[in-house]
Amino acid sequence: MEIKVDKSLYSKQVLLKTAYSFSDRAYLHLSQDNQSWIICWTDMPDQQVKPEMFENELISQQLREELLEKTKDVRTLILSRAFASSAMQIRSDTSEQLPDNEDLDEAVDAAGILKGWFDS
């Protein structure tokens, strides 16, 4: 089976993610010309991959890619906040508990790390 899809609609990364999702059901070969990605496959025994299935998965992967790009700043902010809160919590806990001669590793405990952001 073979299909061609427009390069202007789907990125290489989207194509590879889509192809990977079918790698357990078909033997795939990817190539390209100037305007299109060319996807050829042979179904594995007892499997059937229809062109429509591949095209639907391309659309799903493209939408995921676009949503990831649009939410990148928010996700970065959330992760930064989470790591910053943990680091600040460890510092404030250890600065009160550590005598001058103890290692930092001994002072960090799970209870201090696992506190919520807004818990005091």
Cα–Cα distance measured from residue 60 to residue 55, given in angstroms and rounded to the nearest whole number? 9
pTM of the model: 0.66
**Tokens, residue 8:** 């202007």
Q: Which of 19-33, 39-53, 104-118 has the lowest mean pLDDT?
A: 104-118
Q: What are phi and psi of 75, to 5 degrees?
A: -65, -40
pLDDT tens, position by position, 80-110: 888 877 666 555 555 555 455 455 555 555 5
Residue 42 DSSP SS3: strand
Are 54 and 18 in contact by the 8 Å Cβ rule? The answer is: yes
What is the layout of strands, in order, in the sheet containing 36-43?
Answer: 2-6, 36-43, 26-32
Number of neighbouring beta carbons within 10 Å of residue 115: 14
pLDDT tens, position by position, 48-71: 999 999 999 999 999 999 999 999
Count of residues in the chain: 120
Query: Which pLDDT belongs to residue 103?
Result: 52
